[in-house]
């Protein structure tokens, strides 16, 4: 024990925040060796927190009615006391922006700084998915651009037109990401050449005669120029998993600004895609970091016993996992699972049992838990992380069991429980549960008859025979048809998996 507590009061102020931030930073960077983006921490009111909720947590966002609906819903839940507000929101950007709620006590602010500004921040900066797929430096500028662009479209083309396109694009957001290949990026040379060709065409097709027409009569539209680079058909590279990309590229009815809207929605979907694949790891990492840091603060005498208890109270609430037959059960709590697994990795590194030595020969007893965790945070996503690191001990603690569900049977069958025969099987099944490739419908563009009646052929590749939900399928197909402009055929196919 050394040093006096950094704060004793419940209330926070900016001076104390700064002192605490520095103490946390010292532990996070010095002891744990985390690598983070520069931090920008903003204090906001509860109303602003609701605002932030309804714009997908981003500090700026284009306007759309669905965000208003989200706000109305959250507002109702919050006012009715059905849900509390998050203590923080953190944005994957550089600088990394974290929002602190003004109502938090000083202890909670410390917890939140450790959680968001160091835990999430480290994860965003180091995890391979985020490094490869998102551009933290550019996202805020891009959102600013998107907001301005869409507002300009509102003015020029009318709100209804813009909303129609955005509605349809939102409906396809889940099918608007590249899962396996990197988005094709036109290189600079090619882009320049393309622009040059367009200019040339405009110049060559300009006809002075049209200028002599009386006002109000439009010259006939120029015939579309055949771009050898964008030759339809031959270069479509089917099948294509990214519906939005395909439509943006090949739809014959969309105007340039409409294509740009699709591109904006697609970019957002791609930006959020890594977050959807790393919920457990992301929250686990942040929870583990705050848990470690708060304890270190206490050990150094920088926070009082009262603070530690307040922290533990809230921490246990966050990592609580209701059981399946509990009224509160709503699926696995990513905080609980993630934190549980990471705390377990630390235990395996420091105090392994015989079982751990058998299951994790490389980790067991190595002592370097922070190295092991940092490696996991950097190189795994939920699915692979669970497949690799879920230990039998944790499966027993969670009392996991596996059910087999066949649609035409009237009962679920228990196929595995937390015992010797069940561990590996269940671990794989749980990992599958976090594989977006399995849980999201896999829909691909398999054909487009551009020379004939322009029908678009989509195929849903079924996984283990699970079909699409019928009513929503019809609704979404209507949206696809709006964007494509011609008939759309969606077939169920077997992925053969």
Partner 1 sequence: MSHFIDRRLNPKGKSLANRQRFLRRARAQIREAVQKSLKDSAVADIAKDRKVRISTKGTREPRFRLDPRTAGERDFVLPGNKEFMPGDEIRKPRAGEGKGRGKEASDSGEGEDDFEFTMTQEEILDIFFEDLELPNLVRTTLKETPSRNWKRAGFTTAGSPTQINLVRTMRNAFGRRLALRRPRPADIEELEARLDAAERTDDGTTDSATRIAAIREELARAVARRKWIAFIDPVDVRFNAFTEQPLPTSQAVMFCLMDVSGSMGEREKDLAKRFYMLLHLFLKRRYERVDIVFIRHTHDAQEVDEQEFFYSRQSGGTIVSTALEKMLDIQRERYVSSDWNIYAAQASDGYTQSGDARHCVEMLNEQIMPLCQYYAYIEILDEREMEVFANEDSGAELWRAYRTVSALWPNFATKRIARPSDIFPVFRELFRKSEAA
Closest to 335 measured CA to CA, from 314, 320, 350, 354: 320
Neighbours of 343 (CB within 10 A): 19
Q: Which is nearer to partner 1, 223 or 331 (CB)?
A: 331
Indicate whether 436 belongs to the interface with partner 1 (CB under 8 A). Answer: no
The single residue listed with the structure tokens 């009318």 is 158
Q: Measuring CA to CA, which residue among 285, 288, 274, 276 is closest to residue 376? A: 285
Contacts of 458 (CB under 8 A, 6+ apart): 243, 443, 444, 445, 446, 480, 488, 489, 490, 491
Is 40 a binding residue for partner 1 by CB under 8 A? The answer is yes
d(CA 54, CA 42): 18
The region of 230-238, 279-287, 308-316, 330-338 touching partner 1 under the rule CB under 8 A is 330-338
**Minimum distance from CB of 63 to partner 1 (Å)?**
5
330 touching partner 1, by CB under 8 A: yes
Q: Which of residues 186-215 bind partner 1 (CB under 8 A)?
A: none
Nearer to partner 1, 194 or 279 (CB): 279
Interface stretch with partner 1, choices 138-146, 257-265, 285-293, 466-474 (CB under 8 A): 466-474
Q: Which of 41, 112, 153, 349 binds partner 1 (CB under 8 A)?
A: 41
DSSP state, residue 230: G
Q: In this chain, which of 81, 228, 234, 331 binds partner 1, going by CB under 8 A?
A: 331
Applying CB under 8 A, does 106 fall inside the site for partner 1? no
- Copy the structure tokens of residue 294: 């708060």
Residue 151 CA to residue 287 CA, distance in Å, equals: 39
Site for partner 1 contains 232 (CB under 8 A): no
Q: Cα 478 to chain center, whole Å?
A: 26
User: For residues 50 and 99, what is the distance between their CA atoms, to the nearest angstrom?
Assistant: 12
What is the Cα–Cα distance from 64 to 55, expressed in whole angstroms?
A: 9
**Cα–chain-centroid distance for residue 288?**
20
Q: Which of 184, 357, 472, 487 binds partner 1 (CB under 8 A)?
A: 472
In the complex, least distance from residue 300 CB atom to partner 1, rounded to whole angstroms: 21
Interface characters, 53-92, with partner 1 (x: CB under 8 A): -xx-------xxxxxxx-xxx-xx--x-------------
417 binds partner 1 (CB under 8 A): yes
Indicate whether 456 belongs to the interface with partner 1 (CB under 8 A): no
Give the C-alpha separation, 143 to 133, whole Å.
16
Examine residue 466 and tell whether it contacts partner 1 (CB under 8 A).
Answer: yes
Instruction: Confirm or reject binding of residue 354 to partner 1 (CB under 8 A).
Output: no
The answer to whether 468 and 477 are in contact (CB under 8 A) is no
Q: Using the rule CB under 8 A, which residue among 3, 10, 35, 47 binds partner 1?
A: 47
Q: List the interface residues with partner 1, window 389-408 (CB under 8 A).
A: 398-408
For residue 146, list its beta bridge partners: none
Q: Is 489 helix (H, G, I), strand (E, B) or coil?
A: strand
Subset of residues 147 to 176 that bind partner 1, contact rule: CB under 8 A:
159, 163, 167, 170-171, 173-175
- Our CB check for partner 1 shows the closer of 161 and 375 to be 161
Give the C-alpha separation, 379 to 385, whole Å.
Answer: 9
Nearer of residues 29 and 417 to partner 1, judged by Cβ: 417
Nearer to partner 1, 72 or 199 (CB): 72
Binding status of residue 384 toward partner 1 by CB under 8 A: no
Residues 108 to 137 in contact with partner 1, rule: CB under 8 A: none
Crossing angle (nearest 10°) for helices 382-389 and 369-379: 140
Q: Is 432 in the site for partner 1 (CB under 8 A)?
A: yes
Nearest to partner 1 of 205, 472 (CB atom):
472
Q: 239: closest CA among 445, 494, 484? A: 445
- 374 vs 393 by CB, closer to partner 1: 393
**In the complex, what is the shortest distance from the CB of residue 291 to partner 1, in angstroms, rounded to a whole number?**
20
DSSP track, 171-216: HTGGGSS-SSSPPP---HHHHHHHHHHHHHHHHHT--GGGGGSPTT
The span of 27-35, 253-261, 288-296, 413-421 binding partner 1 (CB under 8 A) equals 413-421
> C-beta of 429: minimal distance to partner 1 in Å?
5
Q: In angstroms, rounded to a whole number, what is the distance separating the alpha carbons of residues 39 and 338?
A: 24
* Residue choice 321, 391, 444, 459 for contact with partner 1 (CB under 8 A): 321
């Amino acid at each position: 024990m050394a040093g006096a507590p950094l704060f004793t009061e419940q209330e926070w102020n900016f001076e104390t925040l700064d002192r605490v931030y520095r103490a946390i930073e010292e532990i996070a960077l010095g002891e744990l060796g985390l690598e983070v983006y520069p931090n920008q921490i903003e204090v906001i009111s509860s109303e602003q927190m609701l605002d932030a909720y309804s714009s997908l947590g981003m500090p700026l966002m284009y306007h759309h009615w669905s965000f208003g609906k989200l706000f109305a819903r959250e507002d109702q839940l919050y006012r009715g006391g059905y849900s509390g507000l998050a203590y923080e929101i953190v944005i994957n950007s550089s600088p990394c922006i974290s929002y602190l709620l003004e109502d938090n006590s000083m202890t909670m602010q410390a917890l939140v700084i450790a959680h968001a500004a160091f835990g999430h921040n480290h994860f965003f900066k180091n995890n391979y998915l985020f490094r490869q797929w998102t551009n933290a430096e550019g996202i805020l500028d891009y959102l600013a651009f998107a907001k301005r662009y869409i507002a300009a479209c509102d003015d020029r083309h009318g709100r209804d037109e813009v909303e129609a396109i955005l509605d349809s694009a939102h409906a396809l957001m889940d099918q608007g990401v590249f899962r396996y290949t990197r988005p094709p990026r036109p290189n600079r040379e090619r882009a320049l050449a393309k622009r040059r060709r367009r200019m040339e065409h405009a110049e060559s097709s300009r006809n002075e005669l049209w200028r002599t027409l009386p006002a109000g009569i439009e010259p006939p539209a120029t015939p579309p120029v055949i771009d050898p680079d964008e030759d339809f058909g031959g270069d479509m590279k089917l099948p294509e998993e990214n519906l939005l990309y395909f439509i943006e590229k090949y739809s014959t009815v969309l105007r340039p600004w409409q294509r740009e809207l699709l591109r904006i929605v697609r970019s957002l979907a791609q930006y959020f895609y890594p977050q959807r694949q790393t919920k457990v790891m992301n929250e686990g990492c942040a929870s583990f970091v705050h848990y470690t840091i708060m304890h270190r603060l206490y050990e150094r005498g920088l926070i009082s016993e009262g603070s530690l208890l307040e922290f533990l109270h809230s921490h246990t609430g966050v990592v609580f996992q209701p059981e399946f037959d509990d009224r509160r059960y709503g699926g696995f709590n990513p905080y609980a699972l993630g934190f549980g697994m990471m705390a377990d990795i630390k235990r395996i590194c420091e105090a392994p049992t015989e079982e751990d030595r058998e299951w994790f020969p490389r980790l067991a007893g190595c002592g370097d838990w922070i190295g092991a965790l940092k490696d996991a945070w950097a190189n795994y996503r939920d699915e692979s992380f669970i497949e690799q690191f879920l230990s039998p001990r944790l499966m027993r603690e969670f009392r996991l069991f596996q059910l087999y569900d066949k649609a035409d049977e009237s009962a679920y069958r228990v196929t595995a429980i937390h015992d010797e025969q069940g561990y590996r099987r269940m671990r794989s099944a749980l990992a599958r549960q976090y594989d977006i490739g399995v849980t999201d419908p896999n829909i691909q563009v398999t054909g487009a008859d551009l020379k004939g009646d322009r029908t678009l052929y989509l195929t849903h590749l079924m996984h283990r025979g699970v079909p699409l939900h019928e009513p929503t399928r019809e609704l979404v197909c209507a949206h696809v048809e709006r964007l494509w402009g011609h008939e759309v055929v969606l077939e169920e196919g077997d992925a053969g998996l």
